[in-house]
Amino acid sequence: MNSSQLLGITTFAYLLSAVLYISIFVFRAKKLGLTATLVTLAGFLINTAGIGMRWYESHQMGIGYAPLSNMYESLVFFAWSIGILYLGIELKYKNKILGAFAMPFAAMAMGLAGLKNQDIKPLIPALQSNWLIAHVVTCFIGYAAFAVASGFAIMYLIKDWREQSGSGGALIASLPDLKVIDDIIHKTLVFGFLWLSAGIITGAVWANSAWGTYWSWDPKETWSLITWFVYAAALHARFTRGWGGKRIAWFAIFGFVSVMFTYYGVNYLLAGLHSYGGS
Amino acid sequence: MKKTENAVWSFFASVKLALITLLILATTSIIGTIIPQKNPPEFYIQNFGPKTAQFFQLLDVPDMYNSWWFTALLLLFSINLIVCTIERLPNVWQMVVMNNLDTPIDRLEKMPTRKIFHGSASRQEMTQRVAAQLKEAGWPSQMEEKTNGTLLFSQKGAWSRLGVYAVHLSILIIFAGAIIGSAAGFKASVMIPEGSSTDTVYEYGSEKPIPLGFNVACDQFSVTYYDDGHTPREYRSVLTVRDSALAAPMTRPIIVNDPLDYRGITFYQSSYQPMQGFGVTITNKTSNASEDFQIPYGKKISWAGTDIEFGLINQQARSRMGDVSHVKFWFSDGQGDPATLWMEDKSTQSLSRQDAEYEITVRQLYATGLQVAKDPGVWVVYFGCSLMLIGLYVAFFLSHRRIWVYITEEAGNSRILLCGASSKNKIGFDKDFAALTERFEKNDVFQNA
């Protein structure tokens, strides 16, 4: 079995996982809970094997490198990060409805990956650095946390909106309490912020060892900093001004838009040093 | 006067200002990612029209991250950080060092997280048992006799309250590092042809010459490719530093991601330029005579003292950069017809002639492009970055947890009040507290109230 088959199965597993979790929520099919978790876990393990296999294949080709170097590989790792993060959250909060708002991101990431060029290509000299691994891993764990946080923010806003309009119903009641969702959003944001900071810092150290300047205001760097500012503002609003609930939920969604622009938009809309991320 | 001072102070001490500054920094930073930076003025006139271009120049948009207004925003941000810290740190410091044995008992009785036990032992004996239990559970305690009872106190992670200030300090340290770098350092570049050397580099943008104080030579530059023939695998320059302070010249190869550092100046492999010239080595295997030549393309060269003439009469380009993948070598020794050979760049071939065997090596000559940087602030920046990560971890994931136990005695029976509080992560602390009460419950000496 080669890596692209394994990652193909991963895409299918994450899609199935998302459908199962959404069914648990929408049809209140609690019986599907165990299946959903097992499918997610299996998807995550196959995802891991796929990344490992791709690494192995690159060595077979004599150009061994950690598969974290282009858009395809980063999307696969993004999905992997969402997978492990979500499984951790499910284990901690013992609530499967959360999956309906988290796993669709993993499925989407794998779906997008399927549209990218999947060739294993040798690394150009600028990418031949161990900082590549540290930088990509830290960034994407952070991105995954922000993706999941925005999913939970959507859940919060739906629940809040339906309850306000008095049209709650059993479906909405099955969602966790607003206070609980708010707490999960906050914890996920905090987690993501730490990893985003680490991602920006490892990127700066790498840039300094490759080009002799740790910060050059290239569009990708600048956008990562913009994202950092947005989340820093959200955290300060919460810690010192007691913001919570709807406002933080909107911040989480707004922040994730900024994350997506940093990750995706910059590569296609703006030119810069990170141009190799585009192919 | 005092009043205005207070107004200014409270303006800078407000978190609202911090929020607004963060969002303004975020929004204005977008401009420079959309409008290309550091291009010559003509670029902006051509792309945006003369009126907009003039407006851009007025607001330093072409170099906005170094503009007066962006610098002012960062300065505002820094002052805000400093003032907020001065405003809040003393209280927080007080929380870190305060003597919690002074906490009024009536406050303990009202703490949301609390549990009461009874026991038949005397107050003194009970105190000893409680202290032992706490110690066993990882909460070593201090003790103080009060008028009506005994108070025990234990805490963990008091210093974690400082985490957020470590993060704020780290930002200021990073700024300080950046200022040191731009005041005492430089960013420059230089192109050195193979076999040449330089003692001067040229500053970015201004092209101002900067003397190095020593001499750097490029002995050799090479670019190697992967099997696909066009993806570069490695750019490598062999550099030699010559300095009167050095006993002998120092030679070191550099590649991308592995620069050369000498006297605080770092040389990075950044680009290269193929030159219209080739290095040719001819060895007469029969007589063992050998000679190196640096020759231009398309010119007939003679090896002095022999009848040999040679040259390069055709070439195949590898890329638009002007790299050559193959050259056609022409050779004559005055005996018989001249020979021609298609040779790969950086390859050696043998050539049999009537009265001698020759070995010929051909390689294209390059100039290496180096980025040269001096940044004495970089370690300050790295220190700030490390402090930031540690500070964020402490601020987000550690908490100040405090446990009090107050023991009183009534008619031979003891009453034990166990209570606690945490600076954050209430749920995590409740678990700690539950584990502690469970420990007490398991012990026969204590009975639930």
Which pLDDT score is estimated for B322?
75
My answer on whether B72 and B219 are in the same domain is: no
For residue B153, list its beta bridge partners.
B142, B404
**C-alpha distances out from residue A127 to A15, A66, A123, A242, Å:** 32, 11, 6, 43
Contact A125 B178 (CB under 8 A): no
Extract the tokens encoding B69. Answer: 């207004």
My answer on whether B324 and B206 are in the same domain is: no
pTM: 0.89
Contact B268 A212 (CB under 8 A): yes
Extract the tokens encoding B276. Answer: 């219209």
Residue A278: pLDDT over 90: no
Which pLDDT score is estimated for A86?
98
Residue B230 counted as domain residue: yes
Residue B169 counted as domain residue: no
My answer on whether A254 and A137 are in the same domain is: yes
Residue A272: pLDDT over 60: no
Of A187-196, B30-39, B337-346, highest mean pLDDT? A187-196
Chain A residue numbers touching B230 (CB-CB < 8 A): none
Q: Which residues constitute the domain of residue A175?
A: 124-279
My answer on whether A275 and A180 are in the same domain is: yes
My answer on whether A64 and A39 are in the same domain is: yes
Give helix A178-211 / helix B378-397 axis angle, nearest 10°: 160
Q: Give the SS3 label for residue B408.
A: strand
* Least confident segment among A109-118, B194-203, B438-447: B438-447
My answer on whether B289 and B349 are in the same domain is: yes
Which pLDDT score is estimated for B119?
84
Compute φ and ψ for A217, nearest 5 degrees.
55, 35
Residues A174 and A97: beta-carbon distance below 8 Å:
yes
Q: Where are the alpha helices (DSSP H) in B110-158?
A: 123-136
Residue B204 counted as domain residue: yes
Q: Would the ipTM clear 0.90, i.e. be above it?
A: yes
Name the band, by pLDDT with cuts 50, 70 and 90, for residue B310: very high
Which pLDDT score is estimated for B448?
65
Residue B1: pLDDT over 60: no
Which pLDDT score is estimated for B425?
82
Strand order across the beta sheet in which B301-302 lies: B301-302, B309-317, B324-332, B339-344
Q: What is the DSSP string of B280-324?
A: EEEEETTTTEEEEEEEETT--EE-TTSS-EEEEEEEEESSTT--E
Total domains in chain B come to 4
- In B, residues 52-71, which contact A (CB 8 Å cutoff)? 65
My answer on whether A237 and A250 are in the same domain is: yes
**C-alpha distances out from residue B317 to A2, B229, B342, Å:** 37, 12, 13
Residues A176 and A129: beta-carbon distance below 8 Å:
no
Q: What is the mean pLDDT of residues A209-213?
A: 91
My answer on whether A12 and A63 are in the same domain is: yes
Contact B22 A193 (CB under 8 A): no
Q: Give the SS3 label for residue B258.
A: strand
* Nearest chain B CA: its distance from A124 CA (Å): 6
**C-alpha distances out from residue B268 to B77, B183, B194, B198, B242, Å:** 33, 21, 16, 15, 18
Residues A18 and A79: beta-carbon distance below 8 Å:
no
Q: Which residues constitute the domain of residue B55?
A: 2-95
Which pLDDT score is estimated for A274?
52
Residues A63 and B226: beta-carbon distance below 8 Å:
yes
Rg (C-alpha) for chain B, rounded Å, is 38
Predicted confidence (pLDDT) per residue in A36-77, tens digit: 999 999 999 999 999 999 999 999 998 889 999 999 999 999
Give CA–CA dist B363/A150, Å, rounded: 57
Nearest-CA neighbor of A176 among A266, A102, A71?
Answer: A102
Which pLDDT score is estimated for B276?
78
Q: What is the mean pLDDT of residues A67-88?
A: 96
Q: Which of B16, B26, B65 sits opposite A217 (nearest CB)?
A: B65
Comparison of pLDDT for B445 and B309, the residue scoring more? B309
Predicted confidence (pLDDT) per residue in A105-153, tens digit: 999 999 999 999 999 989 999 999 999 999 999 999 999 999 999 999 9
Give CA–CA dist B296/B276, Å, rounded: 6
Predicted confidence (pLDDT) per residue in B139-162, tens digit: 999 999 988 899 999 999 999 999
Q: What is the mean pLDDT of residues B201-208?
A: 90
My answer on whether A107 and A166 are in the same domain is: no
